[in-house]
Structure formats: C-alpha cells, structure tokens
Amino acid sequence: MQFEAGQRVALIRTTDPHTDLRPGDQGTVRGVDRDQRRVDVAWDRGSTLSMLLDAGDELTTVPATAAVAANPTGPSRSAGAGAAVAWPDLLTALCAVRAVGAADGADAAEWWVQDTLGGRASGDTAATARRILTGIDDGDPAILDTLPGTNAGWAASGAARYHGTTGAVHAETAAALTGEQWQQAEAAYLEGFDTAVTDAIAAACRRTLHPTGDDRDLAHLHPDRVTLGSVGVFSGDWNDAGAGAAFPLTAGYVGTLIDRWNGWAVFTCTRAVAEAIVADQQQARETYRGGLAQAGVPETDLDRQTDETYPRMWWDGDVIVVDSTTMYADPEAVERIEPRQDGGYVVMGGSWCWQAVDPYDCARIAGDLPEPGQQQEWILLTHTPYTVVPPAPYTIDRLVDLGTGRGYTAELRHAGAPAAIAVGVAAPTGAAPPARLAATNGRFDADDWRSYVAAARRCGEPMTEAAVLDALTEDALLDAATAEAVAAGATLVRLLDDTGGILALHRFSVAASSPQAFGVLCAHVRGVKPDPRGFSWQYFNGRVWRHLMPAAATEPFPPAAPGIEPAPGN
C-alpha cells in the first residue's frame, strides 16, 4: 500500500513495545521515505512515532467518510452478520473493546497481586517481585504464562460484547461485524487485557522493590543506560547483602557519572549522599569489627584488623577525611576530599571500585532519583576533547567555507530547526574575528542559549560563546570526516596537545580492526613530521576516540603490510 503526505491513517499494529499507541489510533502522514519503507506520522494523541513497514509495523488509510455521512447512525440491525461495518465505526468499536479488555485485565491483576504480593501472600514477597519483574522485562514465557489470562473465550463475555449502554460496542454494531472484523475485535480485547495485566503487575512489583514504595519505572536508570554526564545509582561489592537476600545490595547512592577509572565508575554526588556514604562506611566498620570480636580476635587487635580492611572516614567541616594509613602501611595515606566548585563530592573516585547498579537491586537508595528524561545533566562532545555541554539539542549544520583562513559560516540549530546564523566558526586562532552569531530568527531563544553557553565547560573551565560555537562546529566537521573514513574502510588519526587542542588530523587507508592494523597505523604516524607541541595521538574506532601512542614514542613498530599505504595527501 502506498502512503502520501497528508493522508489520514490508522494503526493496525506496531512492533514498538514502548509506545502508548494502540490499534485503531489515527494520525496524519507527515512524510514517507520509500527507500527505507518508513512512514512518518503525526498521531492524534500527540505521538510522532514513525512506522517501519519492513519491521512489521502496519497501517491502513482511513477512507473518506461519505459512507458515514449517508448513514450517520451507523450500520442498522438489518445489515446482518457478515455486512462490514464502516471503518470509522469499526475503529470506535475496536477502541471500546480494547478498553473493556484493559478494565478486565486490571481487575484480574488486582486479585492476582493480592494473592502473590499483597495481604494474602506469604513468604519473601520482595524476592517474588524481583523474579516476576525480571521475567516481564525479559519477556520470559516461564513468567508470562503464570500471569492472569482470560478464563473463557472473549466472545462469550457479555462485558466484551455489550459493555453497558454507554459503550461504543452496541448489539447492532457487534451483530454487523464480519468474520475478519470480529477477529480484529477479539485481538483488541486480548491486547487490552494482556497489556493491562503486565502493566499493573509490573507496577506492583516496582512498588514492592522500591525503597520508598514508589511505583515509578526506573528503567532510565538501569546501569546499561548510565553514560558520562547522566545520573545513575552507584554502589560497590562492600554493600553486597549476601546470597539469598531479597535485595542484593544494602545501599545505592545517586550521583552523576563524570569519568571512568580502570573500568570503574567515578561519580559526583550531593553533600547529603556523601554523608550517607561516610555513615555507611562507619557502619560497615562497626559490623566488621563486631564480627572479629565474635570470632575471638583480642580487643587490642580489633582496631588494627578493622583499619586494614576499612579505612577510617569522618567529616572535618565541609571536607571528608579518609585515613588509609593502616590499610596501605603508609603514614602519608590520608586523603582530604573537598567539595567541587558546584558543591558536589567525588567520594573515593579512582580509589574504590564503584559501579552503576540497578536501582531495584538496592534495599535503600541515598539521594533523589530523577524523572525519565531528566537524568542527563550534560554530554561529552564526541570529537571535541574535554568539552561538555548541556543536553539541550544545539547543533551546527550547513557549513560553508569562507576561504583564506576565515573559517566557516553555518546554521545554529535547535532540535533540528534553524535558529541562527553563525560566522567565523572554526577559524584558525588569530586569523579572523572570534566566532559569533550574525543573525537569529523567531525560533532562537536568547535566554536558553545564554544558559547553554554558561553551563558549557572545557577542561572544567567556563567557555565563551565563540568557544562553544567553535566546539560545536569542530564536532560537526569531524563527525562528517570520521563517517566518511569509516565508510571507506580508513581511519582518522589526530594529534592533541596537553590541553586537548587538535594540532593535526590525518587519514590512513587502513581500518583499525586488529593488532597488526594498530602497528601499521603507528608506523604511518611515526612517518609524519611531528608538531613540537604534540602530546598524544588518537584514532577513531567508529564510535569514540581512543589513545594510539604518545607523541614522543620512539619504540619500533611493525612495518606496513604490503598494499597498505597512507591515503593521498597524508
């Protein structure tokens, strides 16, 4: 079926498990990508979910309502079984049937929850809730098959056929459904029932597992989704509750991931969360000391053995003092952790093995959990070293080279829409006036842009508007260059100074995909005339920039493999 912009369409099915759209929902086609078989739709309920026809999404056009106008009261009883219901009336019927199924599913789930997790339940309900929630998230049939289902065929249910006089599915409409339409109605009822059951039971499991009894879905804080600049929940193996515990971890701490150290997380947290970490460390010391005492360790040796395992921590005003002298047998091993400029604390970052954890694994969480969509506090630009900006969607596009070292002119976009014209971006230092905005349009929000610039940081230091424009431009230019290199099976290599400034950029016609290829890259780099300010070489692996070799490396590397040469011009 062909779709065109402006057509009215209705949803038959979608493979997206996260959307609120349901069969029968209507919208207007915004555009069509025929090569990718994608239909962009502005749905009446506010969604902009696109339909991927090759992935299993299905749409149908909504015909003109001439037939409805000719018979505004809908199909008559005399139509008889097998006379098709006009499509707009059928959509209304499907929505009503789905709502009936959802109501029946919610009722069934409520009784099931009371027997399994609520007042009529027995045993460890937290462990049960964790097992059920994991099964629902994983789509495990062993769990899903134990959830409430319809006890009889849906068509035998009077509620499904004639759900009160206010329902849209009246007797005459039901009687006029064709066999295929009746199957659609059955599918709508079952879809509404099953969705309501899983949603209600998952919410009940989350309430059982959440330390505060909140049923908010915390999937946005799952450790797999915690990236640099985003909020997560962090803990370590010292909080392990032991085998068989309903909650694997005794505590988790809310913070923002700012770095990684040997694969472990480094995060910043509020004063309240830092206080909780210090208090929990003290409690862990006391518990460990008590265990030693019960094991018969002499009183004179309890403190020494405790100090060898858990460092002492306390507050000195606004500073956390960590005494690890006994643990490391080093009288100098005393650390003072002061608050950062923003008032946050990095508690033992780079010293303890912190990691992002699942919030539902924690018996207790210290700190405020962000709502979905608010967990990203900043983003690290992909191609501009040591530069972070707020998550607001500002980008640079449509670059035009001004020539003679004057940089570029470009569009500053917000959420993909042009908002301003920038000139002099990415110009060599001193070769042109600093980058600036030369014109804005009605989409430009001056206050929002100023806040964006004020929050941007390079090497932890504030940035000017010109520096932010240059950084966004550099990211756009390198994004295009790296994409082109990857597509051609080549690799971009760059030389940085000790502040992250890019001194040189080279493209080599070898894909960095094996140890031999790394040796080839290093050999080519050693043949490039070095910049005396160079600090380190990096290569782009298709996703991020990685360290290749120090700028001053002198150790020999394997010779280039036959047929692999630098790309022209390098």
Return per-residue pLDDT of the chain as tens, 570 residues: 578 888 888 888 888 877 878 877 888 888 888 777 889 898 888 788 889 888 888 888 775 442 333 333 333 333 333 445 555 566 666 777 777 788 888 888 888 988 888 878 877 788 888 889 889 888 899 999 889 887 544 444 444 443 333 334 444 455 556 667 767 777 778 888 888 899 889 888 877 877 666 667 788 898 999 999 999 999 988 888 877 676 789 999 999 999 988 889 999 999 999 999 999 999 999 999 999 999 999 988 999 999 999 999 999 999 999 999 999 999 999 999 999 988 999 999 988 999 999 888 888 899 999 988 899 999 999 999 999 999 989 999 999 998 888 899 999 999 999 999 999 999 887 777 899 999 999 999 999 999 999 999 998 899 999 999 999 999 999 999 999 999 999 999 999 998 888 999 999 998 888 888 888 888 889 888 878 899 999 999 888 899 999 987 644 444 433 333 333 333
Residue 134: the pLDDT is: 86
What are the helix and strand counts (H, E) for the chain? 13, 25
Backbone angles phi, psi at 185, to 5 degrees: -65, -40
Residue 156: the pLDDT is: 42
Backbone angles phi, psi at 538, to 5 degrees: -125, 155
Dihedral sign for Cα atoms in the order 51, 52, 58, 61: positive
Backbone angles phi, psi at 311, to 5 degrees: -70, 155
How far is it, in rounded angstroms, from Cα 430 to Cα 545? 28
Chain position carrying tokens 């929902």 = 25
Residue 446: the pLDDT is: 95
**112 CB contacts (<8 Å, ≥6 apart)?**
147, 148, 197, 201
Nearest C-alpha neighbor of 265 from the set 324, 347, 337, 190: 347
Q: Encoding tokens for residue 222?
A: 């799952």
- CA 227 from centroid of its chain's CA atoms: 8
Dihedral sign for Cα atoms in the order 542, 547, 549, 550: positive
Backbone angles phi, psi at 307, to 5 degrees: -65, -30
Cα–Cα distances in angstroms (integers) from residue 245 to residues 126, 207, 240, 361, 458, in the given order:
9, 18, 9, 10, 44
Strands 379-380 and 436-440: unpaired
How far is it, in rounded angstroms, from Cα 39 to Cα 29? 7
Q: Is there a contact between 60 and 10 (Cβ–Cβ < 8 Å)? A: yes
How far is it, in rounded angstroms, from Cα 211 to Cα 213? 6
Give kind and range of the element (H or E) at residue 6. none
How far is it, in rounded angstroms, from Cα 289 to Cα 278? 17
Chain position carrying tokens 């004179």 = 300
Q: Is there a contact between 355 and 223 (Cβ–Cβ < 8 Å)? A: yes
How far is it, in rounded angstroms, from Cα 276 to Cα 365? 10
How far is it, in rounded angstroms, from Cα 44 to Cα 118? 38
The torsion region of residue 59 among left (phi > 0), alpha (psi -120 to 50) and beta comes to: beta
Residue 312: the pLDDT is: 94
At residue 41, the 3 state secondary structure works out as strand
How far is it, in rounded angstroms, from Cα 339 to Cα 297? 38
How far is it, in rounded angstroms, from Cα 321 to Cα 314? 5
Q: Is there a contact between 290 and 303 (Cβ–Cβ < 8 Å)? A: no
Q: Is there a contact between 60 and 38 (Cβ–Cβ < 8 Å)? A: no
Strands (E), 497-568: 502-508, 536-540, 545-550
Q: How many CB atoms lie within 10 A of CB 118?
A: 14
How far is it, in rounded angstroms, from Cα 535 to Cα 41? 50
Backbone angles phi, psi at 43, to 5 degrees: -75, 145
Residue 513: the pLDDT is: 81
